[in-house]
Structure 1
Amino acid sequence: MRHSLPLTPQFYVTAPQSCPYIDGRRERKLFTALQGSGAGSLNDKLSKQGFRRSQNVLYRPSCADCTACLSARIRVDEFSSNRSQRKTTRRNAHLRREITSPWASEDQYALFRRYLTARHADGGMADMDIFEFAAMIEETPVRTRVIEYWDDRPLESGGKAALRAVCLTDVLDDGLSMVYSFYDPDMPQDSLGTHIILDHVEVARDAGLPFVYLGYWVPGSPKMGYKAQFSALEIFKDRQWQAIGHPDEHAHSTHPLSVEPIAEQVAQIELPDTLSG
């Protein structure tokens, strides 16, 4: 089934499948290809409207009876870490950040496999081989970086530096978009996932970028609940960005009457001026 705007790009809808966040629900995605000279501006514009990038595709949840997946971002200038987050930063002060071009490595893939085995063994990426992993990292038509976090302490005992965390990050015109991150699953006490987000806030602040896009926050989903713990968080809801407020206020998003028809959703999408005539 295809729905399109008057001009390119064209938008499509995936077939329903089991929702990875809320038991008993079915998910469906609205998506479009990301290609050509306008890829960067399209990524910038649609990211502001709740879309996410996966390789050469931009997508947004468009489920038939649920609107619970809400794009979330941190307002960098207003962000203030809490006591627990400050402890996380101190605990990981030994990590060395490296920002590189989007190029896959064996160290990355080894860490990625360990992370999936420990955290998402039954997920959709569990069978991803090294070639598919390389495609995830390298197939990007926009400005993308790989941010790695290295532990140099093994060098003191004659070993090699250890890669502890990785984040594939898009550089938008108004912020950093955390496309996908993974980290050492054997160090839960270090809260590496939280550290990656906190460090992205610092990177964005240093670069003068106002937002850090975290992906989707899903009210009622234990997998996504941690995102609500970050201050200055806002969500894209009712076609606008707004402060998250109390998480319980968004429970009605799972009601089937909250969903607009696909054609209306597509008609409301704003395109960059270069693509809209």
Structure 2
Amino acid sequence: PALYDSLIDNGFRRNGTLYYRPHCPQCDQCRSVRILVQDFKVNRSQQRAMKRNASVTTELRTARFTEEHFSLYRRYQSVRHTGDSMDDPDPGKYRQFLINSNIDTFILELRIGRRLLSVSVIDHVANGLSAVYTFYDPDESHRSPGIFTILKQIELARSVEYDWLYLGYWIKDCQKMSYKARFQPLEAFQPETNTWVTVD
């Protein structure tokens, strides 16, 4: 855990039990980002997401394989990652990617009644939480479940007086990642100087 804490603080992420940081020869745009949760302010679009999900319930679970989770993961990948390497997952790859962990990992479930809406895999790190991966029911995209689950993770981090929620990598000019910059205040790791700087 101490090694992972140091790696997270230096812009690394994990995939199962492997730790990595992008080092592409001709591109240096990937930046690890984190929300300063104690100073976070909800914006209007995030407030709307909260209202749309007012009836959603949350549950914390041990990080383990379940058929219910895996079935939702497959549906999510078939819609969100059609045609790429994540489009046809099997239970072994799913376990390797999300369940296998040598640190303190847990799962946040969101449900509409008894029906599973989303699953977030989260790590405890030094003075923070790290959002490893989230997948959700693609038929419920109108609820903005990805945004809502980040808001719930901020709430969770605040409840134990953590400072940060790590959101993974962000590329400034990538539209698909633009939602991350709407969680303010936000910091990005600069590998050139090994420092965290504010993202406006």
Tell whether the structures are fold-level matches, with TM greater than 0.5: yes
Aligned residue runs from structure 1 range 181-220, under 5 A: 181-220=134-173
Letter in 1 for 2:14: R
Aligned to 2:198: 243
SS of residue in 2 equivalent to 1:186:
helix
Q: Distance in 2 between matches of 1:46 and 1:130?
A: 28
Tell me, yes or no, if structure 1 residue 104 matches structure 2 residue 59. no
CA–CA separation in structure 2 for the residues paired with 1:93 and 1:123: 34
Q: CA deviation at 1:95?
A: 1.3
> In 1, are the aligned partners of 2:109 and 2:120 still within 8 Å (CA)?
yes
CA-CA distance at 1:135 after TM superposition: 2.8
Which residue does 1:137 correspond to in 2? 98
Letter in 2 for 1:49: N
* Corresponding position of 1:44: 5
The alpha carbon displacement at 1:174 in A equals: 1.5
Question: 1:175 & 1:183 partners in 2: Cα distance?
Answer: 23
| 1:91 aligned residue (52, 56, 67) | 52
* Other-structure match for 1:57: 18
Q: Percent identity?
A: 37
What amino acid is the match of 2:25?
A
Counterpart amino acid of residue 172 in structure 1 = V
How many angstroms apart in 1 are the aligned matches of 2:44 and 2:50?
10
* CA distance in 1: counterparts of 2:17 and 2:141, whole angstroms: 32
Shift of residue 138, structure 1, vs aligned partner: 2.4
Q: How does 1:118-197 map to 2 (within 5 A)?
A: 118-152=79-113, 161-197=114-150
Structure 1 position 134, deviation (Å): 2.4
Uncovered stretches (5+) of structure 2, i.e. residues with no partner? none
Deviations 1:68-90 (A, max 9, x none): 00000000111001011011112
Paired amino acid for 1:133 = Y
Contact 2:78/2:88, CA 8 A, preserved across alignment: no
* Paired amino acid for 1:241: W
Q: What TM-score, normalized by structure 1, do the two folds share?
A: 0.70
Matched position secondary structure for 2:83: coil
Structure 1's unaligned 5+ residue stretches are 1-39, 153-160, 246-277
**What is the TM-score with the length of structure 2 in the denominator?**
0.96
Provide the C-alpha distance between the structure 1 equivalents of 2:88 and 2:45, rounded to a whole number of angstroms.
35
1:69-80 map, 5 Å: 69-80=30-41
Checking the alignment, whether the CA contact within 8 Å between 2:77 and 2:88 is kept in structure 1 is no
Aligned mate of 2:76, from 115, 122, 130: 115
Query: Deviation above 3 Å: which 4+ runs of structure 1?
Result: none
Superimposed CA distance per residue, residues 233-270 of structure 1 (whole angstroms, 9 cap, x where no aligned partner): 1100131101012xxxxxxxxxxxxxxxxxxxxxxxxx
Q: For 1:78 and 1:179, locate their aligned partners in 2 and report how far apart those are by CA, in whole Å.
A: 22
